[in-house]
Structure 1
């Protein structure tokens, strides 16, 4: 049965929103958990006022609930199960998760989870439309936290798959990856695999160039954006493969005081006089030629 709407219930939600908004203001709006908490309860209030799906809005997602929810996600990234509901099963369940929150409550939070204000999402025909608007705050917050870790001298830049079985228009297929289907991430990492910055591939969207950055094409621009966190003229070296390497990119990074090393496709070398791959593969060509 739909929940009966009353002024007292709305007033409770408004008090929660006012308090969480004050908390964000006092922290400069930089605490990700405060923002998630605020957006969640604002969406719950909107659903309640519109009497939408009352089964899922008839509860508060408090700060403690949100922290437990995030903790379960962290645990599940380490202790793997083929199906998320197995964490609560009698045979394959994981006690730290089972004792933290019930499966039903966890799934309710999943259903209503919000990270950003839907009313600020620009339409698709707008020049500043962001396909990742709903999780933009999470991406920015993670990159801010990752960037606080000091950089190693040697860095690697490559793409990685965030595996998923869900249906989504941004889902990619990369046959040479261990996980072939998922969301494609571009990331810059240390030699130990720690991610210092990442981007989620969202298709042919326009990105702003800052501080006189050149337009080096989609792949070159990706390197330039990720390399913004690398200090200039500090002997840092970025390694990448032939998907990214080009003469204009290497030249630009050199002028910026950032070393790089990568293999390159022969068709990206101007006035290339090297033998083609078919010729080099012949047995008559000396090895190492």
Structure 2
């Protein structure tokens, strides 16, 4: 398995939008559209206008843009408000349309739903989506297996309480991620105990084996919930190695490993078998941490002042793959306030899809915004703008708000020159050279020059400043520089 983006994905990517559509293809959208239209007809009857692909793309695009603006905890009404909101929301669709879609969005037919399956409201969509993740990217030699918690405090038959997580209550998801890029390679929702109520035995072992199915030659990093001697031997039979912390009460550990009294700080004890290495490191007096590894075969210790074993250094390097995914998706999350847990899962699917698409795009075009530290924010903004553009261009009614209306007219008028120059792609591997050159999507807030306009001095700046511009006010036709235009086409006096 060659690490990095697969040839299957490279051949299907031409721009940022198509990169995202690898994880949200038309087949998945048809499931959402069909079930949503069925629910809309039940709720609104003849008044319901069928949802189509462009409208669903616009809805997802607005969710992504709300995440870019970090508005997950902001009321939806304020996003459409003329004073506190943004023009792009009012230009795309009305607040009522957005709320209606959120109200009726469905992922299965509730009349034929299997009542015995806790995940049935979204299982079909979830499983089809998870099957796409390993097709687009091959993880590197280090893979992290851990648990995620999507915050949710509403009614859910398998809601979990995890005090160590920031949200504490939510939906638990087992995850296997590439340790270097945090690409989500495999995910599985934990639906709680079985109907019989009998707790699952060796759950940690079962989860790791499920998450790593299809991998060979990789090293699996996990915490003490998963690590055991039995798991390490089973992974070796699958040509996988394991590094992880171990609970001190495990019966397979030697008694000398668990003892901490009388041990000198920064000391290490090792125990070996033919296939497994166990180390007990004492960072301070009467404290110790135990790790198990099937990758390391010797008692190597670092030359630093802390004298940490190499096993601990490798564990610390690779343990944060899943935690980093949680951090990155939470920064620009598209989560909205809802009482329905299937919507929470759907929002998380969009967050993970957008992040995975970002990983693919940076592998295909390695020079894209390479000098900027906020590349992912730019990526999400361009992705959201590309998803809503088609819906804006076909709107029958222009918004009443003058700024939103001007934005709609600007998008509908063909620009004389492309607003964003095309960038040549730099493939991450030799297989990427066969793909077409990806180009970045133009941001809708970038002002474009009218075909017959000329560059003139700003008519608001004092005479001492010689600022030339081609942007003019939509109402009074004054030429305006970037400092004096409050929006893309209005001056401060005409707003």
TM-score w.r.t. structure 2 length? Answer: 0.44
75 and 138 in structure 1: CA distance in 2 versus 1, 3 angstrom threshold = farther
Which residue of the other structure, out of 218, 242, 247, is the alignment partner of 2:224?
A: 242
Q: What is the CA deviation profile of residues 72-120 of structure 1, one whole-angstrom value per residue up to 9, with x for unaligned ones?
A: 2233333321124132233442333332222211111111111123244
Q: Which secondary structure does the structure 1 equivalent of 2:121 belong to?
A: helix
Between Structure 1 and Structure 2, whose CA radius of gyration is higher?
2
The one of 101, 106, 110 aligned to 1:118: 110
Cα 1:77–1:182, aligned 2, differ >3 Å: closer, same or farther? farther
Pairing 1:204–2:186 present? no
CA distance in 1, matches of 2:257, 2:144: 29
Structure 2 match to 1:79: 69
Alignment match, 1:212 = none
Q: Distance in 2 between matches of 1:201 and 1:265?
A: 22
How far apart in 2 are the matches of 1:123 and 1:216?
25
Task: Select which of 129, 132, 141 maps to 1:153.
Answer: 141
Residues 197 and 56 of structure 1, relative CA distance in 2, 3 Å threshold: farther
Which residue of 250, 254, 257 maps to 1:268? 250
| 2:147/2:175 contact within 8 Å kept | yes
Counterpart in 2 of 1:183? 171
Question: Does 2:97 correspond to 1:105?
Answer: yes
- Partner SS state of residue 268, structure 1: coil
Over residues 261-283 of structure 1, what are the superposed CA-to-partner deviations in whole Å (9 max), with x where a residue is unaligned? 1111122242631354xx51x4x
Structure with the higher helix share, 1 or 2 = 1
Distance 1:261 1:67, change over 3 A: same
Structure 2 partner of 1:193: 182
Corresponding position: 1:93 with 2:69: no
Aligned position for 1:58: 48
Are 1:42 and 2:38 matched, yes or no?
yes
Offset at residue 147 of structure 1 (A): 1.2
| Higher RCO (CA 8 Å, separation ≥ 6 residues) | 2
The 8 Å contact of residues 224 and 247 in structure 2, kept in 1 or not, is answered as yes
**Where does residue 257 of structure 1 map in the other structure?**
239
The answer to whether the 8 A contact 1:170-1:183 is kept is yes
On the 8 A contact 2:171/2:189 being kept in 1, the answer is yes
CA distance in 2, matches of 1:30, 1:229: 26
Q: In structure 1, how many angstroms separate the alpha carbons of the residues matched to 2:182 and 2:90?
A: 31
- Is this contact kept in 2: 1:39–1:114, CA < 8 A? yes
Q: 1:185 to 1:84 in 2, by over 3 A?
A: farther
Write out per-residue CA displacement over residues 25-45 of structure 1, whole angstroms, 9 at most, x where no aligned residue: xxxx97100111112223334
Bigger mean CA offset, 29-38 vs 98-107: 29-38
Q: Aligned pair count?
A: 235
Shift of residue 242 of structure 1?
Answer: 0.4
Q: TM-score, normalised by structure 1?
A: 0.72
Q: Unpaired segments of 5 or more residues in structure 1? A: 1-28, 48-52, 125-129, 207-214
Q: Which SS does the other structure have where 1:239 is aligned?
A: strand
State the secondary structure of the residue aligned to 2:175.
Answer: strand
